[in-house]
């Protein structure tokens, strides 16, 4: 689970004889492992236990802020994901009662409150009831996992707006934020709903709501196994995931075209609703946002609907014009990104319909949406999005085709043709992967650069933005993506001798005018001493004189070009980062799921 946070880690085990054994350490999980080797792992024999890896929100990543947190008497242990927004009030209340808190975290308040509820009051002696009592008081988004030294065979977990799944094995039960934590032991899982609590024992589980009423949680079988969440001989997950893109794309497309029609996964809106759509908003963050920028070209072209693409974190704070005929497409790999989730809630509050594109079955964003298209790209462990990005592009296109089909802006045979072109993409991406060795060598040469610029036009512009984002987040190198036409309006001042500039070329056939204009742009930067690295369609010989380095990708239809041209940019960023000595799978300060705003 380290991909969710790697600032610190901790474990707590109930020894079965009334003692809670805890070890916590700042830094990567490996630090905790070393500590356990020194202090002795035998101490951790017990009946039930929990582990946590943290991405710091309240309090610096130091030992005392690491989870699990305990109450003063060290009877209760709590791990937490999310933010308890009213923690300052709760903390003041505890301090007024004479309780001394030993960390700067919001989580510790929950440990003290649960211990108090277990000792005194109507829930005394009942751990699930004590946790429920406290959950009802908490504001914000949280998943809590709780043990009590007096209850050696029980673990209680609760969730609001943060993920929690139960793994049901034989003679063992698990809770985790994500199935990959227990996939080694069982593929039978249960997904908890909003404001639900689960009490697990070795024999099974019981779900209630926060009022204590029995509640239904949704059982499912995980469609992939442990090998999907392991490196499988690769140095790092990201490279494995880059190479999995053909398969991921095929999985995204599979089953979505049947009897001549595009089909979504879960559609809680009618064809008439789709026909009534008069405007589309795409909301997402980071890489998912870049996939949305690409989608705009296709959706507007195919449906003639206006499409606005907006960062989810900006969307709901600027009063966007929404009504019941607005379709909001929310794109999120994890399905739990707080900014995107809040954008979805805002949109639904304004009566707009929401269609989610998501890689995680049953995550909160798809649960709160009117329709869902899952990308089915499989687990992505590397923190930087790669295969889920290309899968999102394909899924966005399916949404565009579904809209075109419902609205009649494309004839059925045209929809079928577009789908067939999409279906040819896994093979094209496989071919694009043959550039990996060349690009890795290039990455090694560029590793000492101060900065890299990325240029593109049309759908190549979001590809340039994504190439720059990958380089920033992995190699901690200054990188900027620009629309090549903007160059003379300012950014050209950045060009200096030897500066690497990556240019994403359009097809000379598909976009001849843009191709010619980009060649002029490259001449301008070459004249100023830039080192040009050009990603171009194979056989595009006109570009050779302008390219200090040429990376060829297969010729594909214009709208599909991002699927192939992104591949070398992913490899380039990973290789520059690796050469600079960084952990490609776990870039500093980042976590895979950004569950806080």
Contact residues toward ligand F6R (CB under 6 A) are: 285-288, 332-334, 337, 340, 384-385, 473, 594
Judged by beta carbon, residue 370 or residue 473, the one nearer ligand F6R is 473
Three-state SS for 41-55 is HHHHCCCEEEEEEEC
3-state secondary structure of 22: strand
Contact 563, 425 (CB under 8 A): yes
Judged by beta carbon, residue 186 or residue 333, the one nearer ligand F6R is 333
Judged by beta carbon, residue 179 or residue 530, the one nearer ligand F6R is 179
Q: How far apart are CA 112 and CA 148, in angstroms?
A: 12
- State the nearest-atom distance from the C-beta of 553 to ligand F6R, in Å: 20
Exposed, middle or buried by CB within 10 Å (0-12, 13-18, 19+), for 374?
Answer: buried
Judged by beta carbon, residue 354 or residue 406, the one nearer ligand F6R is 354
- State the nearest-atom distance from the C-beta of 129 to ligand F6R, in Å: 34
Judged by beta carbon, residue 108 or residue 473, the one nearer ligand F6R is 473
Q: How far apart are CA 331 and CA 590, in angstroms?
A: 19
Q: How far apart are CA 307 and CA 296, in angstroms?
A: 6
DSSP state of 214: B
Element (H, E) at 403: helix 387-407
- State the nearest-atom distance from the C-beta of 522 to ligand F6R, in Å: 27
**Helices and strands (DSSP H and E) totals, the chain:** 18, 26
- State the nearest-atom distance from the C-beta of 39 to ligand F6R, in Å: 35
Contact 474, 313 (CB under 8 A): no
- State the nearest-atom distance from the C-beta of 383 to ligand F6R, in Å: 6
Judged by beta carbon, residue 173 or residue 332, the one nearer ligand F6R is 332
Judged by beta carbon, residue 186 or residue 334, the one nearer ligand F6R is 334
Cα→Cα distances 332→311, 348, 353, Å: 12, 17, 16
- State the nearest-atom distance from the C-beta of 387 to ligand F6R, in Å: 11
Q: How far apart are CA 256 and CA 252, in angstroms?
A: 8
Judged by beta carbon, residue 81 or residue 334, the one nearer ligand F6R is 334
CA angle 322, 323, 325 (to 5 degrees): 115
Edge to edge, the sheet with strand 531-537 lists: 478-483, 451-456, 500-504, 531-537, 549-553
Residue with the closest Cβ to ligand F6R? 286
- State the nearest-atom distance from the C-beta of 281 to ligand F6R, in Å: 16
- State the nearest-atom distance from the C-beta of 21 to ligand F6R, in Å: 34
Judged by beta carbon, residue 285 or residue 525, the one nearer ligand F6R is 285
Q: How far apart are CA 250 and CA 426, in angstroms?
A: 6
Judged by beta carbon, residue 178 or residue 191, the one nearer ligand F6R is 178
3-state secondary structure of 129: helix
Q: How far apart are CA 586 and CA 178, in angstroms?
A: 17
3-state secondary structure of 183: coil
- State the nearest-atom distance from the C-beta of 257 to ligand F6R, in Å: 25
Contact 376, 359 (CB under 8 A): yes
- State the nearest-atom distance from the C-beta of 229 to ligand F6R, in Å: 17
Contacts of 208 (CB under 8 A, 6+ apart): 128, 132, 196, 197, 199, 214, 215
Phi, psi at residue 569, to the nearest 5°? -70, -35
- State the nearest-atom distance from the C-beta of 469 to ligand F6R, in Å: 6
Judged by beta carbon, residue 333 or residue 390, the one nearer ligand F6R is 333
């Amino acid at each position: 689970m380290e991909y969710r946070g790697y600032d610190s880690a901790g474990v707590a085990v109930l020894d079965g004889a009334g003692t809670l054994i805890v070890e916590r350490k700042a830094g990567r999980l490996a630090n905790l492992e070393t500590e356990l080797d020194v202090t002795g792992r035998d101490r951790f024999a017990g009946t039930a236990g929990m582990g946590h890896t943290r991405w710091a929100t309240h309090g610096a990543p130091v030992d005392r802020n690491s989870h699990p947190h305990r109450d003063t008497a060290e009877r209760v242990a709590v791990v937490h994901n999310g933010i308890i927004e009213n923690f300052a009030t709760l903390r003041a209340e505890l301090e007024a009662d004479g309780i001394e808190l030993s960390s700067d975290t919001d989580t510790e308040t929950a440990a003290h409150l649960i211990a108090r509820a277990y000792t005194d009051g109507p829930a005394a002696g009942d751990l699930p009831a004590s946790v429920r009592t406290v959950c009802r008081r908490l504001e914000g988004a949280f998943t809590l996992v709780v043990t009590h030294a007096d209850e050696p065979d029980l673990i209680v977990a609760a969730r609001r707006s943060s993920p929690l799944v139960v793994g049901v094995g034989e003679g063992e039960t698990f809770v985790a934020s994500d199935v990959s934590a227990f996939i080694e032991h069982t593929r039978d899982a249960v997904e908890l709903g909003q404001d639900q609590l689960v009490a697990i024992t070795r024999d099974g589980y019981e779900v209630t709501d926060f009022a204590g009423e029995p509640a239904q949680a949704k059982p499912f079988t995980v469609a992939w196994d442990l090998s999907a969440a392991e490196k499988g001989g690769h140095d790092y997950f990201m490279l494995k995931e880059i190479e999995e893109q053909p398969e991921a794309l095929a999985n995204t497309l599979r089953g979505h075209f049947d009897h001549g029609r595009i089909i979504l996964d879960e559609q809680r809106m009618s064809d008439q609703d789709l026909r009534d759509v008069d405007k589309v908003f795409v909301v997402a963050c980071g890489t998912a946002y870049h996939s949305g920028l690409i989608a705009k070209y296709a959706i507007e072209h195919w449906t003639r609907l206006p499409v606005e693409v907006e960062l989810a974190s900006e969307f709901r704070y600027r009063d966007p014009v929404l009504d019941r005929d607005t379709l909001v497409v929310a794109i999120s790999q994890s399905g739990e990104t707080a900014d995107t989730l809040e954008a979805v809630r805002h949109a639904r509050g304004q009566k707009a319909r929401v269609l989610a594109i998501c890689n995680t079955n049953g995550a909160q964003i798809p649960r709160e949406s009117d329709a869902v298209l899952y990308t089915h790209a499989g687990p992505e462990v590397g923190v930087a999005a790669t295969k889920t990005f290309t899968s999102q592009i394909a899924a966005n296109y399916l949404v565009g085709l579904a809209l075109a089909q419902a609205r009649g802006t494309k004839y059925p045979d045209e929809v079928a043709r577009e789908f067939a072109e999409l279906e040819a993409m896994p093979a094209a991406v496989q071919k694009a992967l043959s550039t990996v060795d060349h690009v890795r060598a290039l990455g090694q040469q560029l590793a000492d650069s101060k900065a890299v610029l990325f240029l593109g036009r049309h759908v190549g512009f979001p590809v340039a933005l994504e190439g720059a984002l990958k380089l920033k987040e992995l190699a901690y190198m200054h990188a900027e993506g620009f629309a090549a036409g903007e160059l003379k309006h300012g950014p050209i001042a950045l060009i200096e001798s030897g500066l690497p500039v990556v240019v994403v070329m359009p097809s000379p056939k598909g976009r001849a005018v843009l191709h010619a204009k980009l060649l002029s742009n490259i001449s301008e930067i070459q004249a100023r001493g830039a080192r040009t690295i050009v990603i171009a369609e194979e056989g595009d010989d006109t570009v050779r004189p302008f390219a200090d380095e040429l990376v060829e990708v297969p010729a594909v239809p214009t709208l599909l070009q991002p699927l192939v041209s992104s591949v070398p940019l992913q490899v380039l960023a990973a290789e520059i980062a690796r050469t600079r000595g960084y952990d490609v799978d776990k870039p500093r300060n980042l976590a895979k799921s950004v569950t806080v705003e």
